Structure 1
Amino acid sequence: MFEKLLLSATALRRHQDGPLAAERERYLQHCSDTGATYWSMRIKCNELLWAARLLDGDLKDGFDMEGLEALADRRMAFQSARTTRRRFIDVTRPWLRFLGWWNESVDNYEFQEKLDQYCLWMRDERGFTDSTIVGWRCRVRDFLIWCDVGNRELQLLWPSDIDAYFIDDVAHHWSRRTVATVAALLRNFLRYAASQGWCRSQLADAIRGPRIYAQESLPYAPDWSDVQRLLACTLIDAPQYIRDRAILMLLSIYGMRATEIATLRLDQVDWQQRVIRIFRLKRRQPQVYPLLPSMAEALARYIDIVRPSTRYPEVFIGLHSPQRPLTRAAIYKIVSRKFLNLGIEVVHRGPHALRHACATRLVADGLTLKEIGDHLGHRSTEATHTYAKVNLAALREVGDFDLGELL
């Protein structure tokens, strides 16, 4: 690997004869295999030689952040540029982790085993999706940390303690809907905890969240003209814009969820039949859509020109090393950044706003709620009823209806 990066015979000999040469070369080969660019590899190569020279003593016990920062201070003695310290840490830490020499800082809580057991139960017994488990785990973990910090033991909790938790978290500016969601998932966790003998059995039934009225809110969709502006801003011949255009079109035309895009695989796009098979998370079943010419062009352009060669089957891969499938959070950042850059004022700037825009557009085109629900992958028409409130044409017909003859 050194021969590919270093053209000078002197530099090549210096790196080959330096300490931990085999470990450095093995890591550089790994970076190359995962799509690192030539110039980023050159930077890694130089910084790793510094790291190998500065490392001393037995590394079997591993390295932690405190030790790495001390190493970075010694590195600064040779080159005090503003970016030297950050670059050294950013390059050395992944290398130590790759070699198994990095000690991850882990916050050990007494409840960790219980939380892991609860997550396994959600997966194996309830069949929750991975994304749901991750979200619920974070909420329950926050609650258990709050209990741990306040020296509150699960088996000694009273309903007043649960009330105190929600009162304390008012500072987080939870909406009524978020409070209702947290109350529901804590109720679920405490029922499971009671079944395991971790807390009082009546604790879960004492939790009462705020009442959420059906159809109390309007869909937070941007105007379709704003969606067109989002798509128009991606008409640039640059890798990032080519990828983002395909993502935005899947969100706004097919009404896909961010997780459905993150998990979309290459084999779900059937180029011969001109269809795209989407696994709808809520329905737990695949759904087949026609691959529209504009969508096919955007996807083909991304896959043929931009998408890196990788072992991952997912369609959307990160552009920078390590090149891994995009996460739901990454897709949120892509969409949110586009809204901010264009100055589009919306209640929510995430991918779900484009899903709402898709539904609102279908309402304006005269599709029935059943047809819209089927397009969005809703399990029941109740989930689609909120869009009836934005069907202005139908509402005007109701308003103009003369009831005089019926009285």
Structure 2
Amino acid sequence: MPEPSHPADAARIEAFVEHLRHERHSSEHTWRSYAADLRHLADHLAGPASGTNCDAAALDMADLEDLRGWLAAMAASGLARGTLTRRLSAARGYFGWARRQGLREDDPSLRLSAPAPKPALPAVLQPGQMERLFQTARHRVEDTVDDPRQHALALRDAALFELLYATGIRVSEASGLDVDDLDAERRVVRVLGKGDRERTVPLGVPAAHALQVWLRLGRPVLARAHEGSAHTDGARGPTQAAMFLGARGGRMGVRQMRERVDRALAGLGDTSARGPHALRHTAATHLLDGGADLRSVQEVLGHSSLRTTQVYTHVSIDRLREGYRQAHPRA
């Protein structure tokens, strides 16, 4: 989305984004989303139907009725409730910050409300589907033995799939991992999550083994492509430290990881689940199905609020209800 038409609005949004990045330590996804939401608000307020004085910054002139009109217009357009809620959060964050900075005397968002989003039940894979995913990855490793570069890529993908399912970490966290973040002896990995919060996540024997094989046999092959350089393939950080490398030898980026997981899941042929987040959903659901308590799953996933983790209990309950309906003679 282009910058707001009024330079003052663009300046306000840029200053707020700097606050999110450097003081709140928000993730790049969060501050980019909030910036886009505030540009949308500024454009709405400055529109011909708003009645806002075009010689003033729209965000400086906004009042409660303006914000309600903005939400009403988005709701009428059929925007999802989750998006409405996020945009409301962006507006609340901005106007609260603007008042504290002395840019406004009031906060018009205090009395603003939007419908709470209904938690979406994430797509999850069955244990048998996960086993087929890993089996396919192992077959690719075996089939590429005679091609060192393709063999290295196959080892990398197998390790990546095992890690994402074993730990439930976010794809951005996987991309940011360094070699030293793995403690193979204790079978744990150190993860830097949202808000620069660090946590230690356990992983099982298959994932630990796949990572060690990749680091020993696969990673050196790809590292030689740009040995000693700081080249990256779409992610921040020096190549020398990166856990996962792209085909050109740089740190493997988020987009590359999504593409590899998407292709592997599509290859199963019997699931609509796509992307690394599906493996995160699946890991959380299988942990709960196996008897893990909600607090432990919250810690593994790195959720700051238990409410975020609770969506997985709905998934498990729905699966339990479906199994009951199919199995019980008087269901």
Distance 1:128 1:385 in 2: 23
Partner of 1:319: 247
Task: For residue 141 of structure 1, report the CA deviation from its aligned partner.
Answer: 3.2
Task: For residue 334 of structure 1, report the CA deviation from its aligned partner.
Answer: 3.1
Partner of 2:128: 225
Closer/same/farther in 2, CA of residues 178 and 229 from structure 1, 3 Å limit? farther
Distance 1:225 1:373 in 2: 25
TM norm structure 2 = 0.71
Task: For residue 118 of structure 1, report the CA deviation from its aligned partner.
Answer: 0.8
Q: Are residue 336 (structure 1) and residue 262 (structure 2) matched?
A: yes
Q: Highest CA radius of gyration, 1 or 2?
A: 1
Partner of 1:120: 18
Closer/same/farther in 2, CA of residues 147 and 341 from structure 1, 3 Å limit? farther
Distance 1:188 1:154 in 2: 13
Task: For residue 130 of structure 1, report the CA deviation from its aligned partner.
Answer: 3.9
Task: String of CA shifts for 1:248-292, please: whole Å, max 9, x gaps.
Answer: 222111111112111111211234555422234378223152562
Partner of 1:270: 183
1:331 partner amino acid:
M
Partner of 2:84: 179
Matched-pair contact (CA < 8 Å) for 2:219–2:245: no
> Structure 1: 5+ residue runs without aligned partners?
1-105, 400-407
> Structure 2: 5+ residue runs without aligned partners?
49-53, 145-149, 231-237, 326-331
Q: Are residue 359 (structure 1) and residue 288 (structure 2) matched?
A: no
Matched-pair contact (CA < 8 Å) for 1:283–1:377: no
Percent identical pairs in the alignment equals 21
Closer/same/farther in 2, CA of residues 387 and 246 from structure 1, 3 Å limit? same
Please say which of residues 225-234 and 254-263 is displaced more in the overlay.
225-234
Distance 2:209 2:33 in 1: 33
Matched-pair contact (CA < 8 Å) for 2:166–2:207: no
2:80 partner amino acid:
S
Partner of 2:159: 246
Partner of 1:306: 222
Q: Are residue 137 (structure 1) and residue 35 (structure 2) matched?
A: yes
Q: Give 3-state SS (helix, strand or coil) of 2:162's partner.
A: helix
1:367 partner amino acid:
A
Partner of 1:371: 296
Task: String of CA shifts for 1:195-251, please: whole Å, max 9, x gaps.
Answer: 4455562421242111246xx543432323333333333331325443332222221
Distance 1:295 1:234 in 2: 16
1:174 partner amino acid:
L
Task: String of CA shifts for 1:148-188, please: whole Å, max 9, x gaps.
Answer: 56557222223343344345445875321221122112111
Partner of 2:310: 385
Q: Give 3-state SS (helix, strand or coil) of 1:277's partner.
A: strand
CA RMSD of aligned residues (A): 3.6
Give the count of matched residue pairs.
289
Task: For residue 362 of structure 1, report the CA deviation from its aligned partner.
Answer: 1.7
Distance 1:154 1:381 in 2: 34
Matched-pair contact (CA < 8 Å) for 1:242–1:306: no
Partner of 2:192: 279
Matched-pair contact (CA < 8 Å) for 1:255–1:375: yes
Matched-pair contact (CA < 8 Å) for 2:16–2:94: yes
Distance 1:341 1:394 in 2: 27
Distance 1:333 1:167 in 2: 37
Distance 1:117 1:266 in 2: 35
Distance 1:357 1:395 in 2: 18
Q: Give 3-state SS (helix, strand or coil) of 1:204's partner.
A: coil
Closer/same/farther in 2, CA of residues 193 and 380 from structure 1, 3 Å limit? closer
Distance 2:66 2:130 in 1: 46
2:246 partner amino acid:
G
Closer/same/farther in 2, CA of residues 245 and 378 from structure 1, 3 Å limit? same
Matched-pair contact (CA < 8 Å) for 1:157–1:199: no
Please say which of residues 242-251 and 107-116 is displaced more in the overlay.
107-116
Matched-pair contact (CA < 8 Å) for 2:25–2:195: no
Closer/same/farther in 2, CA of residues 290 and 227 from structure 1, 3 Å limit? closer
Q: Give 3-state SS (helix, strand or coil) of 1:234's partner.
A: helix
Distance 1:246 1:118 in 2: 39
1:192 partner amino acid:
W
2:209 partner amino acid:
A
Partner of 1:85: none
Task: For residue 131 of structure 1, report the CA deviation from its aligned partner.
Answer: 4.0
Partner of 2:58: 153
Task: For residue 358 of structure 1, report the CA deviation from its aligned partner.
Answer: 0.7
